[in-house]
Amino acid sequence: MIEFLAALTDPSLPFFRYAVLTGIFASIPFGVIGTYVVVRRISYIAGAISHCILGGVGAGLYLQNALGISWFGPLHGAIVVALLASLILAVVSMYAKQREDSVIGALWSVGMAAGLLFIAKTPGYSDPMSYLFGNILLITRTDFYLVLALDVLVIGIIGFFYNTFLAICFDEEYAQLRGIRTHWLYLLLLCLVALTIVLLVRIVGIVMVIALLTLPAAIAGNFARNILQMMVLSTVFCILFVILGLGTSYSLDLPSGPVIILFAAAAYLLALLGLKAVGRK
Amino acid sequence: MNEETAAITIRDLSFAYDDIQILCNVRLDIWRGDSICIVGPNGGGKTTLIKLILGLLSPDRGIIRIFGRSPEEERQRIGYVPQYAKYDPQFPISVLDVVMMGRLAGTLRNRYSPQDRDQAMAALGQTGLADLAARPFASISGGQRQRTLIARALASGGDILILDEPTANIDHESEVRFLDLLKGLNERMTILMVTHEVGFASSFFKRIACVNRQVVVHPTSRLTGQLIQEMYGGDLQMIRHDHRCSEEGHRHD
């Protein structure tokens, strides 16, 4: 921990400060949106959106480097594809609920396949590993500001629609009867999930983002009495895992993403075992 | 029946899921102050009929009118109590917050006012749950959850109450109390209830609608074993709730 604090204050290691700060501020959307993903039981949908992102990243790299469209990069591609995937998934849940499973699976792998093909055809070398597994130590000042913007967006929209989102997560059919346009709001929720995933993929990567989205919220769900408490608690848990993970990975010279995820998973296991021992679940 | 007395009017209603015909040429009139119980075999179309009335499904053919208008326009006047089994038992929410959902009004923000809260508390009082308002929905018993959902329907303040198998998970004693509650509500609300306990039905409801692709309505006074056999198309035992067995043996009261 002393090494960790020294690294934080070392002026020659600005990237480490960005990593820690970004991790802390990214915990807000992880906690808030993760709570909805857990209570609405859409972690597979979040998984499909996240894996689709590689398609967008690949397309962005290809357009930029092979076709010379310099203003369109991997981040733009990722946002477009993630929003498109949310739209497809929302429409499927409306009109073909019984096929939802297959569509999730298809989007999941088609996104990956398209991304790898684009990357293969992009001149120069780009390593898909950094997108798949992320690297919080490569976080730039711009990434940090984007995460801050996401915080504002998520808190603003969720603050406004809190009761409405609660109703569609608890009982969508009843919300519809009370005159709520549940389909549009579900689409809005999926779009927020998509944007959260796009920006947070930088930190732990496409493959592991789901763990950081769901594990803190799943732990918090055991203790929270309402959704708001669950959001706050899971944000706190997420901050804890990020700091512990970064500190440990720095001291032991390990990749940060996997260490963060393993801390989260170990805490989840401990929480389950602990509750079992106390006889609460 | 004219517009003034009709609560729900259904004419020539047909509905199919893919190629399977669920309801065929249904005609049904429910008047204001009616209490009607919907029975029939599983897969006979009971829940489908309710979802059509609520406007959650659209008919392939025919019309449904609620107080003379379409279900989409008038469904906020319907209090709906779904089967409670479909809820996630781990969802972190208090009893009061569930009931508050009855006060949702289709605006985007849906901020609740103090009056909304009062209405929700009043509905909890009516169902005898006022003391449990702050408790987690997950921690109360099945019967109490059922009553919470009834309170939610009452909090919305409608003129029609539709219940889908509300007695499936409650014991006999709560069932008697539940019946008293319904009797009181029937003085100001029209009541429709899906059930598969026919004996329960005969003690309170004015009419009974048998749903099995078609809908046939009988007054409950004419409910006999033979009629039940016809509507279920097989052997069925009728359970008499007014029947008691004592330690000495057997008597009828």
| DSSP code string of B99-152 | HHGGG--S-SS-PPPHHHHHHHHHHHHHTT-GGGTTSBGGGS-HHHHHHHHHHH
Distance CA B203, CA B193 (A): 13
Query: Do A170 and B101 lie within an 8 Å CB cutoff?
Result: yes
Query: Do A173 and B78 lie within an 8 Å CB cutoff?
Result: no
Point out the least confidently predicted range of A21-25, A84-88, A215-219, B179-183: B179-183
- Spell B125-153 as b/e; 16+ CB within 10 A means b: ebbebeebbebbbbebeebbbbbbbbbbb
Query: Do B87 and A39 lie within an 8 Å CB cutoff?
Result: no
Q: Would you give the end-to-end CA distance of chain A in angstroms? A: 35
Task: Give the pLDDT of residue B19.
Answer: 82
Question: To probe the interface with B, which of A95, A163, A176, A187 has the most B CB atoms within 10 Å?
Answer: A163
Report yes or no: A215 and A27 within 8 Å, Cβ to Cβ.
no
Domains of chain B: 6-252 (3.40.50.300)
Please compute the mean of the pLDDT values over residues A19-44 and round it to a whole number: 95
Query: Do B106 and A225 lie within an 8 Å CB cutoff?
Result: no
B108 touches chain A (CB under 8 A): yes
Supply the CATH number for residue A185's domain: 1.10.3470.10
- Closest-CA residue of chain A to B18: A96
Q: What is the pLDDT of residues A96-129, one digit of tens each?
A: 888 899 999 999 999 999 999 999 998 887 778 8
pLDDT in tens, chain B (253 residues): 455 678 999 999 999 988 889 999 999 999 999 999 998 888 889 999 999 999 999 999 999 999 999 998 888 899 999 987 678 888 999 999 999 999 998 788 888 999 999 999 999 999 889 999 999 998 998 888 888 999 999 999 889 999 998 877 667 777 777 888 888 899 999 999 998 776 666 678 888 888 988 888 888 766 666 666 665 554 444 544 444 444 444 444 4
Q: What is the pLDDT of residues A37-60, one digit of tens each?
A: 999 999 999 999 999 999 999 999
Q: CA-based angle B103:B104:B110, to the nearest 5?
A: 120
Residue A279 dihedral angles phi and psi, to the nearest 5°:
80, 25
Residue A183 with chain B: CB contacts under 8 Å: none
- Of B82, B92, B156, which has the smallest distance from its Cβ to A224's Cβ? B92
Query: Do B106 and A179 lie within an 8 Å CB cutoff?
Result: yes
Query: Do A170 and B91 lie within an 8 Å CB cutoff?
Result: yes
Dihedral of alpha carbons B226, B231, B236, B237, sign: negative
Dihedral of alpha carbons A26, A29, A32, A33, sign: negative
Instruction: Tell the residue number behind the tokens 């779009």, with chain if given.
Output: A191
Question: Bridge-partner residues for B183, per DSSP?
Answer: none
Instruction: Tell the residue number behind the tokens 């709560």, with chain if given.
Output: B174
Task: Give the pLDDT of residue B240.
Answer: 47
Q: What is the mean pLDDT of chain A?
A: 91
B110 touches chain A (CB under 8 A): yes
Rounded to the nearest angstrom, the minimum Cα separation between A176 and chain B is 8
Q: What is the pLDDT of residues B106-137, one digit of tens each?
A: 788 888 999 999 999 999 999 889 999 999 99
Q: Using only C-alpha atoms, what is the Rg of chain B?
A: 19
Which residues span the domain enclosing A93? 2-278
The full DSSP string for B155-182 is: HTT-SEEEEESTTTT--HHHHHHHHHHH
Task: Give the pLDDT of residue A2.
Answer: 72
Report yes or no: B62 and B10 within 8 Å, Cβ to Cβ.
yes
Number of domains in chain A: 1
Query: Do B104 and A167 lie within an 8 Å CB cutoff?
Result: yes
Distance CA A79, CA A215 (A): 24
- Closest-CA residue of chain A to B76: A178
The full DSSP string for A233-259 is: HHHHHHHHHHHHHHHHHHHHT--HHHH
Task: Give the pLDDT of residue A163.
Answer: 95
Report yes or no: B162 and B50 within 8 Å, Cβ to Cβ.
yes
Please compute the mean of the pLDDT values over residues A55-80 and round it to a whole number: 91
Q: Inform me whether the pLDDT recorded for A281 exceeds 70.
A: no
- Of A160, A174, A229, which has the smallest distance from its Cβ to B80's Cβ? A174
Distance CA B213, CA B93 (A): 38
Closest-CA residue to A100 (of A29, A184, A190): A190
